[in-house]
Amino acid sequence: MNEELKIIHHIPEGFLDIKPREITKLISSPTLLHLKGEKDKPFFISILLHGNEYSGLIILQEILKKYCDKALPRSLIIFVANPKACEKGVRHLKDQPDFNRIWKGGSSYEDTLIKPVLEYAKNQNIQGAIDIHNNTGRNPIYACINEKKEECVKLAQTFSKSIVYFTQPDSVLSIALSRICPATVIECGLPGQTQGIISGINCIESILDKEEKWKKDKIKTFPVYHTFATLYIDPNTVISFHQQPFLKENHLCFISQFDELNFQQLKAGTFLGKINDTTQLKLIDRNGSNIFNQFFSVTENNLTVKNSFIPGMLTKNTQIAKSDCLGYIMEKELINLT
Ligand SMILES: [Zn+2]
């Protein structure tokens, strides 16, 4: 039986100093903290949709410490999504779905989590939404948007000038929230990474600002990284990331600096690793077609880039590579904003 969403109107005692792995001592199930500020047009901030991505908790602790003896300039609705997975330091528990792949509807969490969260956000007339995540591979910090709208870009820019536009996977929370208000995802690098936390704090400070300076400048066009295909790996593949004897039939051996390729424009001919069987890797576009052969070549087991592209979110975490994806490929695009 899934737990009911809890809604509380105060910061639990000890929340500002609690370590991520101890969070269930204070919050043990999905919870909304609705904190009243001077201006009652709330912003929605979600953390721990992925339990191991704890930078969002640290960012909020730092922000709330600044306001512990004075009112928040603006109300916040903080969604602490999956504290049980956070306690275990995992993306999600074995008996749970991925909490950032359920928002399209149709899961067993529909009535206990999805509808209550989205209805509460809508009823409270949220002005914007920020979903805080970390990456599992090395990436520069970046924000994501799901709609080509000026306010989404402005919101994303409070975190980073590097903005990724994506529409797949379409079951993420930010897409559901984009239907209610401007929304962005902020990707704060690896969990706990300082630069991501500092930029995250600056982002939340910007949206708390009563004068809403972040909204001021007009933007008509903006360059974004557009993800257009997802790299999947066969679950039976044995993956490694360093030079070693290339023996097994189902072995895929990537270069050791694989995740350092993220956000780099890779030229044709770039060597990526050794592969036995090209069916081990699939590159699926938005139409569901496998376009592996358009972007990759395999000659004498050498996997190389065929046509230039920019990879993003490549991970060396083999468990996540197999259960979610190995990463995405992107192109730079100047978008017109509405
Ligand atoms: Zn995440």
Nearest to 2 by CA among 106, 89, 107, 90: 107
252-284 per-position pLDDT tens digit: 999 999 999 999 999 999 999 999 888 999 999
Name the 3-class secondary structure at 23.
helix
Q: What's the gap in Å between 268 CA and the centre of ligand 1? A: 30
Q: What's the gap in Å between 290 CA and the centre of ligand 1? A: 25
Q: Is the pLDDT of residue 310 over 90?
A: yes
Least confident of 53-62, 171-180, 237-246: 237-246
Q: What is the mean pLDDT of residues 292-319?
A: 95
For 245, residues 6+ apart whose C-beta sits below 8 A from its C-beta are none
Name the 3-class secondary structure at 246.
coil
Give all domains of the chain, ordered by start, each with its CATH number. Answer: 6-219 (3.40.630.10), 228-330 (no CATH)
**At residue 57, what is the residue type?**
L
Q: What's the gap in Å between 166 CA and the centre of ligand 1? A: 14
Dmax (CA) for the chain in angstroms is 66
Mean of the per-residue pLDDT values of the chain: 95
Q: What's the gap in Å between 49 CA and the centre of ligand 1? A: 6
39 and 175 Cβ atoms separated by less than 8 Å: no
Q: What's the gap in Å between 262 CA and the centre of ligand 1? A: 16
Q: What's the gap in Å between 53 CA and the centre of ligand 1? A: 6
How much of the chain exceeds pLDDT 70, in percent? 98
Residue 194's Cβ-count burial label (10 Å; 0-12, 13-18, 19+) is exposed
Residue 145 in tokens: 């948007």
Q: What's the gap in Å between 224 CA and the centre of ligand 1? A: 20
Q: Measured on CA atoms in the order 168, 172, 173, 179, is the torsion positive or negative? A: positive
Question: Model confidence at 245, in pLDDT bands (50, 70, 90)?
Answer: low
For 152, phi and psi rounded to 5 degrees?
-65, -45
168-208 per-position pLDDT tens digit: 899 999 999 999 999 999 999 999 999 999 999 999 999 99
Instruction: Give the CA radius of gyration of the chain.
Output: 21
Least confident of 5-9, 52-56, 71-75, 249-253: 249-253
Give dist(CA 18, CA 61) in Å, integer: 9
Question: Model confidence at 106, in pLDDT bands (50, 70, 90)?
Answer: confident
If one counts every other C-beta atom within 10 angstroms of the C-beta of residue 173, the result is: 25
202-218 per-position pLDDT tens digit: 999 999 998 999 999 99
For 53, residues 6+ apart whose C-beta sits below 8 A from its C-beta are 91, 132, 133, 134, 191
> What is the reported pLDDT for 250?
83
